Amino acid sequence: MICNRSCKGKQLSSPDVYCADPNQIIDVLSSYLKNWLEDAIPAELYQKMAETIKPYNMEDQKRKVLETFGTYQEEKTKQLEVQLNKLQPVEETK
């Protein structure tokens, strides 16, 4: 499970397995391995996975990335223009 929250003062952002009680890690892993080896993963899980990824397709992702970075680029360009307009020419002295 990946989470980006702090837990007991630690930032949890790596793809590791976290349990409130370290003694439960053995039970969680053994249950996972048993189900995986017996191919006992319910079909409903696969159906829910398919439903979850439906709204995510390559075209939408490309469009959203271009939209996000296009907006970001426009904002930075405007900020740069504002800063350039604030500059005053400096006369050279000899």
90 located within any domain: no
Q: Please give the model's pTM, rounded to 2 decimal places.
A: 0.38
Signed CA dihedral, 36, 37, 40, 43: sign only: positive
Are residues 18 and 25 in contact, defined by beta-carbon separation less than 8 angstroms? no
Question: Which residue type does 26 have?
Answer: I
Domain that holds residue 73: 18-83
Q: For 34-83, how does the pLDDT look when each residue is reduced to its tens digit (9 = 90+)?
A: 988 888 888 888 899 889 888 888 898 899 999 999 999 999 999 999 99
Domain count of the fold of the chain:
1
54 located within any domain: yes
CA distance 64 to 55: 12
24 located within any domain: yes
78 located within any domain: yes
